[in-house]
Amino acid sequence: MKDISLHLMDIAQNSITAGATVIKISLIYKDGLLIFRLSDNGCGMNEEMLSKVTDPFTTTRTTREVGMGIPLLKLSAEMTGGSFEIKSREGSGTTVEARFIADSIDRIPVGSVDETLGALILANPEIDYEVNFQCDHLNFELRTSDIKEYLNGVSISNFEVIGWIAERVREGLKEVFGGVLNEISG
């Protein structure tokens, strides 16, 4: 995957398949690390599945015998000298955390998190998404549950609403990471 936002698009599908009703997405810059974390309240995995999940030949789908999403994310993180962790409890949910060394020459850019979010919300508007960007003391948060409350009767998957949300997320990325991450102008 060329950037983190595409990994997000990919990994979030797992949460949706797992029947998650809440998906929390975080991007945190701390101590030279860029941490991408995704947490869901889906059906989770048992110990056996969890132990195999980073293997590209492990998948729950039936159309193919490979599942590349998680192994590719692990690779992207480790390529920078970073690390990868996945935790899960059957019946509770799963948390995926990829830690990138921020100024490694091999770190893929953050990418268009706004586009990915827009597409995810459009396709699965019933899910509550919580987005969080953090860098030192700077913090950005967006929750689709708040937006739905505000919309009060208008669907969140209205194309213009999605456009508004995407733009807001784009702004948030700049506010928090501008000038800190090379690819985001401040």
Interacting residues with other proteins (CB under 8 A): 1, 6, 9-10, 13, 17, 61, 63-64, 67-69, 72, 115-116, 118-119, 122-124, 147, 150-155, 157-164, 167-168, 171
Shortest Cβ 60–other proteins spacing (Å)? 10
C-beta of 63 vs 185, nearer to other proteins: 63
C-beta of 31 vs 153, nearer to other proteins: 153
Shortest Cβ 2–other proteins spacing (Å)? 8
Residue type present at position 51: S
Cβ atoms within 10 Å, residue 65: 10
Pairwise CA distance, residues 119 & 26, whole Å? 17
SS3 21: coil
C-beta of 89 vs 168, nearer to other proteins: 168
Ranges of H-type helices in 4-100 = 4-17, 47-52, 69-79
| Residue 69, CA distances (Å) to 15, 52, 165 in order | 12, 13, 26
Count each helix (H run) and each strand (E run) in the chain, helices first.
6, 6
Residue type present at position 108: I
C-beta of 113 vs 135, nearer to other proteins: 113
Pairwise CA distance, residues 83 & 60, whole Å? 24
C-beta of 95 vs 124, nearer to other proteins: 124
Shortest Cβ 7–other proteins spacing (Å)? 9
